């Protein structure tokens, strides 16, 4: 059984078909890319999986159970975490608090525990902070735990967003253009980091990415869409030499 099994997922916005009969199966521990030109529907696919939209048709199974129609926080609670193409952090909260608040779906205490600061509340808060600091340390962010994201370089903000996603202990990490806006040295560091995350955490990673160095270095399988429809899928070598992909996305030359 696949970790994530998407069958003929279709999304209409009015009369526009943004995603057409999209299907994909991701196994545990697999690293997969979703690529295509701008406006192809890639982020819409991620929004459908993560609960921001409900598909017009089709099915989404995660760990064998349907997640179609669930709210984003419910999808997160099932074990799917994601980052965004445009960074979405709480810029006036510290980095540590950005990581801590991501665990709100699994607090394990109620409002009265909070008001009365019961032992259960105190223990859970300590556990949350310890886990947040562990994740920040793993990504080399421990020294900025007390900083506000708005004061950090763009590349570091990207890492904070990845740390926040990792803090929920997902089985599937979805990365929407993690290399966007990074310079070449930052991209090289990102490739190493994602590779280390995959090895250390043993989770599945599904990424949207335009930087082909990132895709070809990390992914074992690539799916390509254009105008919401799948035009190719296969290994990096097969995609690299696919005429339809070259025409629609990669340009006139191979990578």
**What is the DSSP track for 132-155?**
HHHHHHHTT-GGGTTS-GGGS-HH
Classify residue 239: in a domain, yes or no: yes
Indicate if 218 and 94 belong to the same structural domain: no
Confidence (pLDDT) at 255: 42
What's residue 247's pLDDT? 83
pTM of the model: 0.90
Q: Do residues 74 and 199 both lie within one domain?
A: yes
Q: Does 85 reside within a domain?
A: no
118 plus 231 within the same structural domain: no
Domain carrying residue 40: 1-79+170-254
Question: Do 75 and 18 share a structural domain?
Answer: yes
> 47 and 103: one domain?
no
- CA dihedral sign, ordered 27, 181, 232, 195: negative
Of 124, 142, 163, at which residue does a domain stop? Answer: 163
Does one domain contain both 155 and 209? no
CATH of the domain at 1: 3.40.50.300
End-to-end CA distance of the chain: 34
Do both 243 and 123 map to the same domain?
Answer: no
User: Which of 139, 163, 187 marks a domain boundary?
Assistant: 163
Q: Which stretch of DSSP H or E encloses residue 74?
A: helix 72-78
pLDDT at 254: 42
At which of 163, 184, 203 does a domain end?
Answer: 163
User: pLDDT tens digits, the chain, 255 residues: what are they?
Assistant: 899 999 999 999 999 999 999 999 999 999 999 999 989 999 999 999 999 999 999 999 999 999 999 999 999 999 999 999 888 999 999 999 999 988 776 766 677 777 778 877 778 778 888 999 999 999 999 999 999 999 999 999 999 999 999 999 999 999 999 998 888 888 999 999 999 999 999 999 999 999 989 999 999 999 999 999 999 999 999 998 899 888 876 555 444
- Provide DSSP, 202-215: --EEEEE-S-HHHH
Structural domain tally of the chain? 2
Contact 72, 50 (CB under 8 A): yes
What's the pLDDT at 3?
97
Domain membership flag for residue 84: no
For position 2, what pLDDT does the model report? 95
């Amino acid at each position: 059984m696949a970790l994530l099994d998407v069958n003929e997922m279709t999304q209409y916005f009015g009369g526009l078909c943004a995603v057409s009969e999209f299907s994909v199966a991701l196994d545990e521990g697999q690293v997969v890319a979703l690529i295509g030109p701008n406006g192809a529907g890639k982020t819409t696919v991620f929004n459908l999986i993560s609960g921001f939209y409900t598909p017009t048709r089709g099915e989404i199974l995660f760990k064998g159970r349907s997640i179609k129609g669930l709210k984003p926080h419910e999808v997160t609670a099932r074990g799917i975490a994601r980052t965004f193409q445009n960074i979405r952090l709480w810029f006036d909260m510290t980095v540590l608090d950005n990581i801590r608040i991501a665990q709100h779906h699994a607090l394990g205490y109620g409002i009265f525990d909070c008001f009365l600061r019961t032992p259960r509340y105190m223990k859970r808060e300590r556990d949350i902070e310890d886990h947040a600091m562990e994740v920040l340390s793993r990504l080399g962010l421990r020294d900025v735990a007390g900083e506000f994201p708005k004061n950090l370089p763009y590349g570091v903000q990207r890492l904070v967003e990845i740390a926040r996603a990792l803090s929920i202990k997902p089985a599937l990490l979805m990365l929407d253009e993690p290399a966007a806006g990074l310079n070449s040295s930052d991209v090289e560091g990102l490739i190493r980091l994602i590779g280390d995350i995959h090895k250390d955490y043993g989770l599945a990673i599904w990424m949207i990415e335009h930087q082909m160095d990132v895709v070809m270095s990390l992914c074992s399988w690539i799916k390509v869409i254009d105008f919401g429809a799948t035009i190719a899928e296969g290994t990096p070598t097969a995609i690299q030499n696919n005429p339809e992909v070259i025409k629609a996305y990669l340009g006139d030359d191979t990578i």
